[in-house]
Amino acid sequence: MSVQFFLQQCLIGLTNGALIALVALGYTMVYGIIGLINFAHGDLIMLGACLALSIVTALGLAAAGPTATWLGIAMLVVVCGLFCGGLNLAVDRIVYKPLRTAPKLAPLVSAIGVSFIFMNIGLFWIGPADRSFPELLPAANLLPGEGLQFTWKDLLVVLVVVPLMVALSLLVKSTRLGKAMRAVSQDATAAALVGIDVDRVIAATFFIGGFLGGAASVIYGLYINTIGFQMGFQNGLYAFTAAVLGGIGSIPGAVVGGIVIGLVRALSSAYVGERWTGAIVFAILIVILVFRPEGLLGRRTREKV
Amino acid sequence: MPILEVRELEAGYGPIQALHRVSITVEEGELVAIIGANGAGKTTLLMAISGIVPARGGAVLFRGQKITGRQPHEVVRLGIGHSPEGRRIFPRLTVRENLELGGFAQVDRGQVGRDIDEACGLFPILGDRMGQLGGTLSGGEQQMLALGRALVGRPRLLLLDEPSLGLAPLVVAKIFEVIAGLSARGIAVVLVEQNARAALRLAARGYVLETGRITLTGSGSSLAADPRIRDAYLGE
């Protein structure tokens, strides 16, 4: 039944898109605040997934009962979030901060270097072969009837991504830190001149972006069920594309871009064929950027007078 | 003790030395003007006092305490406000958010609210524009917002960089009227201005900065009467 098939693909696309959006936020937040494309972000998430796998294995979560499983997942999200947030913050301190006043190319190349370092740590951690991430959640369909499939795994994505995004938008909109983040992203010098500790705000941004990535890494493991040391590159690329598509620097843009990319990926895999997915996603990106260089929700950058 | 003492300050960018042994003092509540041509180093001097541009030599003392080498946000929190050249308000924050950020370092939120009300008392137009984004304001309104934002920080010393640049005469008059009133509130001011005539009329004292060096100093009226100044900066 074709309508049902289409709806099913959309559902898959939305769930995948939510996951991409969570990663895209890490790119867009860091870009928004210091204008850096953090190429290491995808590999940071790969390391988060390695940690999640190690914890799941060490605790034997695959054999745990339902309550222990859900508690375990909540714990994984927090621990991997803190791990990736802390690691991102440390990289900023050690690598990017000394290059704050250097030409933009220097931190960019350093980010590529960090990406390689992370990838090699991942290789050392889980080995060269792809590893299967245990199925922790029952495969039962939550929707009535035989048609559409929406399983516990899909629900998990919604349960993690939606609250995190709501929390992030509240933080940016109404807290003192959020206001400081917006001020720094608009004019760092002016922000310093009203008494904002710019370095601390940047550090907080790296931490928050990393935390979201860490949460995404757990969902990735539980949802896709395969991780590998090279997973960061491709997933990072899709998430970065989502951020650019939505308008890099824009938080709602990253969410919209992630969902659009998720839908396009699911639909093109279903109707055109898996092998064309990459080409179609990037063709759409190019077309959109030709007509709207600032992305879907981005601002048109104006020359300063 | 002067509120601000700049001692033989050296600063620059890369190979360019922008300030050569610049020394100035500002007394409590005093309005001091710095005049000079484009590129003389006026903005660099203010940026070096705030810690945005690092000092390469010499020292800046605020109420007797050495502040050279401190981070800009620490300098601000000591009580030095800085309204930078080009206003630099936050274009995609509302007028209210811009003003609130002026009081970022204040612990007492109620006090910040009262200070915002006070800034709106000085510039009533800001009160009408509270919910608007900063970038949608006219140039004059943005300058008022920049001044208001700096005042919400409750500075003891205010550094003002070209507050009249590019503004209509009526707006300039309003801005200068507020600046003139700051001394009465006990706020010392360092005023950098291209409009030397207006600046020297307001200022108790002035300094002339030429290619990074202080070449002349005196009371506002004596500088305004000095033939060299009249010739070079007042266009007479």
- Residue B153: its chain A contacts at CB < 8 A? 194-195
pLDDT digits (tens, 9 = 90+) for A40-51: 999 999 999 999
- CB atoms near residue B113 (< 10 Å): 14
Residues B207/B24, Cβ–Cβ less than 8 Å = yes
Query: Can you say whether residue A80 is alpha, beta or left, with left for phi > 0 and alpha for psi between -120 and 50 degrees?
Result: alpha
Among A189, A194, A198, beta carbon nearest to B101: A194
Among A179, A189, A198, beta carbon nearest to B101: A179
Rounded-to-integer distance, Cα A89 and Cα A95, Å: 10
Residue that has been written with the tokens 């003790």 in this structure: B1
User: Radius of gyration over alpha carbons of chain B, in Å?
Assistant: 17
Q: Which of A305, A289, A278 is nearest to A243 (CA)?
A: A289
What confidence score (pLDDT) does residue A301 get? 55
* A189 at interface of B, judged by CB pairs closer than 8 A: yes
Partnered with residue B34 across adjacent β-strands are B192, B207
Per the CB < 8 Å rule, is A186 touching B73?
no
* pLDDT at A1 exceeding the cut of 70: no
Residues A99/A110, Cβ–Cβ less than 8 Å = yes
Measured between CA atoms, how close is A179 to chain B, in angstroms?
8
Q: Which of A34, A50, A187 is nearest to A110 (CA)?
A: A34
Among B73, B101, B150, beta carbon nearest to A197: B73
Measured between CA atoms, how close is A251 to chain B, in angstroms?
14
- Residue A191: its chain B contacts at CB < 8 A? 90, 101
Among A179, A189, A196, beta carbon nearest to B97: A179
- CB atoms near residue A78 (< 10 Å): 14
CA atoms within 13 A on the CB side of A34: 30
* pLDDT at B20 exceeding the cut of 80: yes
Rounded-to-integer distance, Cα A209 and Cα A84, Å: 9
Could you tell me the two tokens for B46? Answer: 């203010």
* B73 at interface of A, judged by CB pairs closer than 8 A: yes
- Residue B100: its chain A contacts at CB < 8 A? 179
What confidence score (pLDDT) does residue A302 get? 46
* Residue B219 three-state SS: strand
Output A92 or B231, whichever has higher pLDDT.
A92
Report if pTM > 0.90: yes
Percent of chain A past pLDDT 90, that is, above it, reads: 82
Rounded-to-integer distance, Cα A223 and Cα A19, Å: 10
User: Looking at chain A from residue 208 to 267, which residues have their Cβ under 8 Å from any Cβ of chain B?
Assistant: none
Per the CB < 8 Å rule, is A180 touching B84?
no
Measured between CA atoms, how close is B195 to chain A, in angstroms?
20
Measured between CA atoms, how close is B206 to chain A, in angstroms?
24
Q: Which of A220, A178, A223, A210 is nearest to A196 (CA)?
A: A178
Output A304 or A43, whichever has higher pLDDT.
A43
Residue that has been written with the tokens 């048109």 in this structure: A300
* A54 at interface of B, judged by CB pairs closer than 8 A: no
Q: Which of A43, A24, A27 is nearest to A35 (CA)?
A: A27
Burial zone of A41 (CB within 10 Å; 0-12 exposed, 13-18 middle, 19+ buried) = buried
Percent of chain B past pLDDT 90, that is, above it, reads: 85
Residues B60/B68, Cβ–Cβ less than 8 Å = yes
| Residue A300 pLDDT level (bands cut at 50, 70, 90) | low
DSSP 8-state class, residue B136 = G
User: What chain A residue is nearest to B159 in terms of C-alpha separation?
Assistant: A193
Q: Where in chain A are the domains?
A: 23-232
Per the CB < 8 Å rule, is B101 touching A186?
no
Q: Strand B188-193 and strand B31-35: pairing?
A: parallel
DSSP 8-state class, residue B108 = -
DSSP 8-state class, residue B163 = T
Residues A244/A295, Cβ–Cβ less than 8 Å = yes
- CB atoms near residue B228 (< 10 Å): 11
DSSP 8-state class, residue B137 = S
Among B73, B88, B97, beta carbon nearest to A195: B73
* A180 at interface of B, judged by CB pairs closer than 8 A: yes
* A174 at interface of B, judged by CB pairs closer than 8 A: no
What confidence score (pLDDT) does residue B236 get? 63
Torsion of CA A156, A162, A167, A169, to 10 degrees: 150
Per the CB < 8 Å rule, is B101 touching A196?
yes
Per the CB < 8 Å rule, is B104 touching A194?
yes
pLDDT digits (tens, 9 = 90+) for A46-89: 999 999 999 999 999 988 888 999 999 999 999 999 999 999 99
Among B72, B97, B150, beta carbon nearest to A192: B72
User: What chain B residue is nearest to A187 in terms of C-alpha separation?
Assistant: B90
Q: What is the mean pLDDT of residues A273-301?
A: 87
pLDDT digits (tens, 9 = 90+) for B108-145: 889 999 999 999 999 999 999 999 999 999 999 999 99
* pLDDT at A288 exceeding the cut of 90: no
* B79 at interface of A, judged by CB pairs closer than 8 A: no
pLDDT digits (tens, 9 = 90+) for B185-211: 999 999 999 888 889 999 999 999 999
Among B90, B91, B104, beta carbon nearest to A195: B104
Rounded-to-integer distance, Cα A23 and Cα A211, Å: 10
Rounded-to-integer distance, Cα B99 and Cα B146, Å: 8
DSSP 8-state class, residue A259 = H
pLDDT digits (tens, 9 = 90+) for A139-184: 888 888 777 889 999 999 999 999 999 999 999 999 999 999 999 9
C-alpha distances (whole Å) from A227 to each of A49, A56, A64, A75, A232 are 7, 13, 21, 19, 9
DSSP 8-state class, residue A95 = I
pLDDT digits (tens, 9 = 90+) for B67-98: 999 999 999 999 999 999 999 999 999 999 99
* Residue B9 three-state SS: strand
Per the CB < 8 Å rule, is A198 touching B73?
yes
Residues A50/A126, Cβ–Cβ less than 8 Å = yes
User: Radius of gyration over alpha carbons of chain A, in Å?
Assistant: 19
b/e sequence B33-61, b meaning 16+ C-beta within 10 Å: bbbbeeebbbbbbbbbbbbbbebeebebb
Q: How many CB pairs under 8 A join A and B?
A: 66
* pLDDT at B25 exceeding the cut of 70: yes
- Average pLDDT for chain A: 93
Q: Which domains does chain B have, with CATH numbers?
A: 1-79+155-236 (3.40.50.300), 86-153 (no CATH)
User: What chain B residue is nearest to A172 in terms of C-alpha separation?
Assistant: B93
* pLDDT at B229 exceeding the cut of 80: yes
pLDDT digits (tens, 9 = 90+) for A202-236: 999 999 999 999 999 999 999 999 999 999 999 99
Q: What is the mean pLDDT of residues A13-25?
A: 96
Among A183, A198, A199, beta carbon nearest to B93: A183
Rounded-to-integer distance, Cα B13 and Cα B212, Å: 12
